[in-house]
Amino acid sequence: MNYVTIDQVTKGYENQVVLNDISLTLKKGEFATLLGQSGCGKSTLLRSIAGLEGVDVGRILIDGKDITNLSPRQREVGMVFQSYALFPNMSVFDNIAYGLKMKKVKNIKSKVKNMIDMVDLIGKEESYPHQLSGGQQQRVALARALVMEPKVLLLDEPLSALDAKIRKSLQKELKRIQKELDITTIFVTHDQEEAMTMSDRIFVMNKGKVVQSGSPSEIYTSPVNTFVAKFIGNYNVCNMEVFHKLVRSTELKGNEVAIRPEVLQLVSAGEDSLDLQENWGIKGVIKDVSMTGNVLRYEVETDESAFLVDYLHHRGEMFEQGARVHILVPKKECIIL
Amino acid sequence: MKSSLTFHKVIVGLLVIYLLIPLVGTFLFSIAGKWDHTILPESYTMDWYIELFQDERFYDAFRRTLFLIVMSVGLSVVIMLPTIFIITVYFSKWEGLLQAAAMLPYGIPPIVGAVGLIKVYSDGPIQIAGTPWILIGAYFITILPFMYQGIRSSLRTINAVQLVDAAELLGATKFQSFRTVVFPNIISGILVSTLLSVALLFSEFAFANLLVGGRFETIQIYLADKLNSSGHLTSAIVITYYSMILLLTGIVLKLTFRNEKNPVVSNKKRILSFFKKQHCNKNTAIEGEK
């Protein structure tokens, strides 16, 4: 049973299409991520679900109910903004209680208390937003949305204004709370790593379209096109003709071949014991070595194009710049696009 | 380091002196008896104030000015606040138009404006030339730029659009979100615009003189009239109405911030800058009137 359904939604401004015939469905309790570069339409889609933007064509359904033409307040969705959008004139408690007061709900106090407990802000009830850190403010924003028990929680790049360490810990916490409440969540981000860690399902968007959807590992290991391959995992994407020349074989067919940098292996040029049953060998020279802490990234220049090769950073195993090497390309890891 | 600090202090000191001298001079002149060939007055007297406070015309003029100000500033807040809010939040594509309209008064000198207004409103359906109502209309336009800038920048500062989005998603109606979320956060901005407008209108002479003149004697027209009889008396008038403005401002500020649990730093800054502006206004006014 689909809980959220986006049915052929299209939206444009003047002469520009922002959402181009988007259809997707979510199950109850699913954590879905809209992933894409800025301007791909992911935030617009989220705002359309919230009712903050209208759509030109198409329908949006939540829990079987068509909400396409309802105002934001009738939609029973909660939203967390990148810039928090807390009410500066209200304390943490009043911010969280705001929606309940508007709905004239009973037991406001205990509900807000529970929520403050859940987002770990005990002792901050009487503080004002400007007295809190960015991470704390975002917890308040999250609590404010969750206390309304929305059918769907919308998160618009909620963590991108925070520094790396706090972001990592809030990622975990967000995921924990989401599982605990079993709340259907749509998360928008441009950070593929964040999308990978948090999502049950990822929708990769480009130019107003969903180009691929699937579990994080599906998206990562079998990208459907060059855009996804490059955006999601730094794939080496190589033109097929060029690839044929490099490996001196025309075994693979198709337009392009994509290979993840971490499945490639480097062997010194002098070594003879190459396993050419399972792999192809490409001659090259190390052009550059960069390190991101645990990963060493080699840029290897071949006759035709450059390849990225990732290695886990082990002590003492390092190729120098300018070293002549063979790149071993595992045949089964080549993805044809 | 230390010498540069002294240098800064000297500059600030000179500036303060420069700004205060006309005020102090006016004040001294208003309590001076004989003051011909000495640096400070030879004798002091309260006669001028006594004369002023016994003059019914002064009270009437003061009341009229207050009436005009309350009406035009009140009207401006009531009309401009919702207008600017609605345009900023819901019809942002028309913002340019509103901005241009709000800036127009800067481009029209009062004399030109006054002549035009008299022409338009002397006949036709709305014949209000020569009545205080035309002055209220003209004042509404005069303070438009201040009201517009003040309210709009307050809305920008608090990111009103997003706050309204958030409030509406939490179940508030458009009006509720304005009343509970936007308004409390821009009240200080509105207040600053209002006070600035009040101060400006208190010293407005050109429109008052051209549009209604002696038929509806405001404090400035009364002042201009007294200018011919006694410089001491005019100084006393100026000092009196400055004190009134200061008192008024102080009371309003105190009332507004007494209940505010959360005085945001930027509010304080805005009010400080307001006082500076008001100060400049006063001094130009003094120099213009003497």
Shared domain check, A299 and A179: no
Shared domain check, A245 and A159: no
Q: At residue A205, what are phi and psi to the nearest 5 degrees? A: -115, 145
Question: CATH no. for residue A101?
Answer: 3.40.50.300
Q: Does residue A231 have a pLDDT over 80?
A: yes
Mean pLDDT of B224-235: 85
Query: Tell me, what's the ipTM?
Result: 0.84
In a domain, B26, yes or no: no
Contact check, Cβ <8 Å, A52/B166:
no
- pLDDT greater at residue B189 or residue A144: A144
- The pLDDT value recorded for residue B276 is 47
CB atoms within 10 A of CB A158: 25
Mean pLDDT of A166-181: 92
For residue B155, give how far its alpha carbon lies from the nearest alpha carbon of chain A (Å): 13
Token code pair at residue A143: 């609590």
Out of A107-116, A233-242, B237-246, B278-287, which region has the weakest mean confidence (pLDDT)? B278-287
Q: Does residue A283 have a pLDDT over 60?
A: yes
Mean pLDDT of B166-190: 92
User: What separation in angstroms does the CA of A90 have from each of A94, A221, A282, B173?
Assistant: 5, 47, 64, 18
Look up residue B136 and give its amino acid. I
Shared domain check, A188 and A61: yes
Token code pair at residue B243: 């004190």
Mean pLDDT, chain B, integer: 84
Residue-range definition of the domain harbouring residue B239: 57-289
Question: CATH no. for residue B126?
Answer: 1.10.3720.10
Mutate to test the interface with B, among A87, A104, A140 (most CBs of B within 10 A): A87
Asked which of A189, A204, A231 is the last residue of a domain, the reply is A231
B-chain residues near A98 (CB < 8 A): 167, 170, 172, 180
Shared domain check, A206 and A315: no
DSSP one-letter code for A157: S
Shared domain check, A267 and A140: no
Q: Does residue A166 have a pLDDT over 70?
A: yes
Asked which of A231, A259, A280 is the last residue of a domain, the reply is A231
Q: Do the beta carbons of residue B203 and residue B278 sit within 8 Å?
A: no
Look up residue B272 and give its amino acid. L
Taking the C-alpha atoms of residue B90 and residue B81, their distance in angstroms, rounded to an integer, is 14
Instruction: Give residue-wise pLDDT tens across range B254-285.
Output: 776 655 544 444 454 445 555 544 444 444 44
Shared domain check, A240 and A175: no
Shared domain check, A191 and A82: yes
Shared domain check, A39 and A16: yes
Instruction: Name the residue of chain B whose CA is nearest to A96's CA.
Output: B170
Residues 6+ apart with CB under 8 A from A200: A30, A31, A32, A215
**A99-120 in b/e burial notation, b at 16+ Cβ within 10 A?**
bbebeeeeebeebbeebbebbe
Shared domain check, A241 and A225: no
Mean pLDDT, chain A, integer: 91
Asked which of A208, A231, A254 is the last residue of a domain, the reply is A231
Mean pLDDT of B41-59: 88
The total domain count for chain B is 1
CB atoms within 10 A of CB B248: 16
In a domain, B169, yes or no: yes
- The pLDDT value recorded for residue B1 is 54
- pLDDT greater at residue B46 or residue B1: B46
Shared domain check, A191 and A50: yes
Mean pLDDT of A43-69: 94
Shared domain check, A74 and A210: yes
Residue-range definition of the domain harbouring residue A329: 236-336
Instruction: Give residue-wise pLDDT tens across range A66-123.
Output: 999 999 999 999 999 999 999 999 999 999 999 999 999 999 999 999 999 999 999 9
Question: CATH no. for residue A327?
Answer: 2.40.50.140
Q: What percent of chain B has pLDDT over 90?
A: 36
Shared domain check, A242 and A209: no
The total domain count for chain A is 2
User: What separation in angstroms does the CA of B257 have from each of A278, B73, B264, B290?
Assistant: 77, 21, 10, 36
Band the pLDDT of B286: cuts 50, 70, 90.
very low
Contact check, Cβ <8 Å, A81/B184:
no
- The pLDDT value recorded for residue B277 is 46
- The pLDDT value recorded for residue B2 is 63
Token code pair at residue B80: 């401009």
